[in-house]
């Protein structure tokens, strides 16, 4: 039953028809699928969490388009390796061959000079660049290179897609096909995978092998026992990074400064990039604290700027101050919920017309059409406030922002209620 090639590698799709997930870009009629059909794909950045098929997609694109494929890891490659590939690409061009694909895994780890070395080749069409990253490319990829690439966001696989991978494995894998393996429950495997196909197949390989040896069914309890005994099975290639940052964020959200600073120390000792930690704090300051304590966002922003100036090891002190402050702070996700509700309303109602009294009227014709005619200028009224409708007519009195139950937002709630009466009465 032993096989030196991991199951995740054995089950790597060999054609686009076998590719699982990412229907928003790879489904029938989707943008990337259409580009493939026209044999013309742009340089691109594939942004998404681990195990969602970034590397596989790059390989399949090269295979489908019959292009030469160069593969570099940003962890190991430097400017010299990039230039060597570009020299080979120029040779291919000189011999009239199609534009090769240059795949750079973890492109966010490339320095500015390394990314600069790619610019000319991408701009001139010497290579089609495909960069894979788990980090927001807006932060990690230089703007000049980013402007020359299409960014595609890859998503975690769904429950149905993950289960289909297990069933496909039982039918097709060279080790497990034809072997009697009964999967009674999937939930534990799915939970440990977190939407990551590679983690799922790592866990399933352990479970299936053990189930055969012990003549047992694969149940949730069976999987949990195995994984607890073999933690590395779901933490290959350094992916514990994502579990720790999750624990870190949840500890701050849960107002536990002890746990938060512990997970911070785990990241520091593990050599984590301080900018990565500081960016997560910026997001959390608005998502989980918000108007319950607006100073949290100011502190997080100052922290982000400071760690980028100072670096290790002194940044650990600034991060610790920010983390313990934010963990101890009052919490509110009201702003986060408000924008979620607002975007949902926009998607459902479409482009509702702006009320006439709110429209700009720069021309005589627009003024004749009553643009802005009934608008009331707030500063012309007592306390710089006058009641009027600011929403489209179809959404009059629609409530999106519900202040949180904390002292700071209770004050906002009272102020809004005093101005708007029932409209913000909650």
Tell the burial category of 310 from Cβ atoms under 10 Å away from its Cβ (0-12, 13-18, 19+): middle
* CA max distance for the chain: 85
Q: How would you classify the pairing of strands 69-73 and 44-47?
A: unpaired
Residue 328, pLDDT above cutoff 80: yes
* 372 pLDDT above the threshold of 50: yes
Q: What is the 3-state secondary structure (H, E, C) of 177-214?
A: CCCCCCECCCHHHHHHHCCCHHHHHHHHHHHHHHHHHH
pLDDT(6) > 80 = yes
Domain ranges for the chain, please list them: 21-153, 159-237, 240-328, 354-424
Pairing of strands 69-73, 150-153: unpaired
- The pLDDT, as a whole number, for residue 236 is 39
CATH of domain 240-328: 1.20.272.10
Confidence class for position 426, pLDDT limits 50, 70, 90: low
Identify the band that residue 237 occupies on the pLDDT scale cut at 50, 70 and 90: very low
Fold of 21-153: Rossmann fold (3.40.50)
CA distance 409 to 415: 10
Secondary-structure class of domain 159-237 per CATH? mainly alpha
pLDDT of 362 strictly over 70: no
Span 142-159, pLDDT tens digits: 888 888 888 999 988 888
Residue predicted with more confidence, 331 or 396: 331
Q: What is the average pLDDT across 364-385?
A: 70
Q: What does the pLDDT look like over 42-99, one tens digit per residue? A: 899 999 888 888 999 999 999 888 989 998 888 777 778 888 888 888 888 888 888 8
Return the structure tokens found at 310.
């100072």
Q: What is the mean pLDDT of the chain?
A: 85
Please, which residues have CB within 8 angstroms of residue 75's CB and are 6 or more apart in sequence? 106, 109
Query: For residues 344 and 330, what is the distance between their CA atoms, to the nearest angstrom?
Result: 27
Q: Average pLDDT in the 290-313 region? A: 91
Q: Cβ-count burial of 363 within 10 angstroms (0-12 exposed, 13-18 middle, 19+ buried)?
A: exposed
């Amino acid at each position: 039953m032993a096989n030196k090639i991991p199951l995740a590698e054995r089950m790597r799709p060999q054609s686009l028809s076998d590719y699982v997930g990412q229907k928003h870009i790879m489904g029938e009629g989707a943008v990337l699928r259409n580009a493939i059909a026209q044999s013309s794909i742009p340089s691109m950045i594939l942004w998404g969490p681990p195990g969602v098929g970034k590397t596989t997609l790059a390989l399949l694109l090269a295979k489908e388009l019959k292009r030469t494929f160069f593969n570099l890891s940003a962890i190991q490659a430097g400017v010299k390796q990039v230039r060597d590939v570009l020299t080979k690409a120029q040779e291919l061009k000189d011999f009239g061959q199609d534009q090769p694909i240059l795949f750079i895994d973890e492109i966010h780890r490339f320095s500015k000079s390394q990314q600069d070395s790619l610019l000319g080749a991408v701009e001139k069409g010497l290579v089609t660049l495909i960069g894979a990253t788990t980090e927001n490319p807006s932060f990690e990829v230089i703007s000049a290179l980013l402007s020359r690439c299409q960014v595609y966001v890859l998503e975690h696989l769904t429950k149905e897609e993950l289960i289909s991978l297990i069933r496909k494995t039982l039918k097709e894998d060279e080790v497990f096909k034809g072997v009697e393996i009964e999967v009674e429950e999937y939930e534990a495997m799915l939970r440990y995978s977190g939407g990551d196909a590679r983690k799922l197949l790592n866990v399933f390989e352990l479970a299936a092998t053990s189930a055969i040896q012990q003549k047992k069914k694969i149940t949730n309890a069976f999987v949990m026992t195995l994984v607890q005994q073999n933690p590395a099975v779901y933490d290959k290639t350094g992916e514990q990074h994502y579990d720790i940052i999750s624990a870190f964020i949840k500890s701050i959200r849960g107002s536990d400064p002890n746990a938060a600073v512990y997970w911070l120390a785990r990241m520091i000792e593990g050599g984590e990039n301080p900018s990565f930690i500081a960016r997560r704090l910026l997001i959390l300051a608005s998502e989980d604290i918000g108007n319950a304590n607006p100073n949290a966002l100011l502190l997080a922003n100052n922290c982000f700027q400071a760690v980028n100036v100072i670096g290790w090891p002194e940044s650990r002190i600034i991060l610790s101050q920010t983390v313990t402050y934010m963990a101890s702070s009052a919490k509110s996700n009201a702003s986060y919920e408000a924008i979620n509700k607002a975007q949902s309303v926009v998607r459902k109602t479409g482009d509702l017309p702006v009320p006439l009294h709110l429209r700009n009227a720069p021309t005589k014709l627009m003024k004749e059409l009553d643009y802005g005619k009934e608008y009331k200028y707030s500063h012309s009224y007592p306390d710089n406030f006058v009641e009027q409708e600011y929403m489209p007519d179809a959404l009059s009195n629609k409530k999106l922002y519900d202040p949180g139950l904390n002292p700071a937002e209770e004050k906002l709630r009272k102020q809004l209620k005093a101005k708007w009466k029932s409209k913000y009465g909650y």
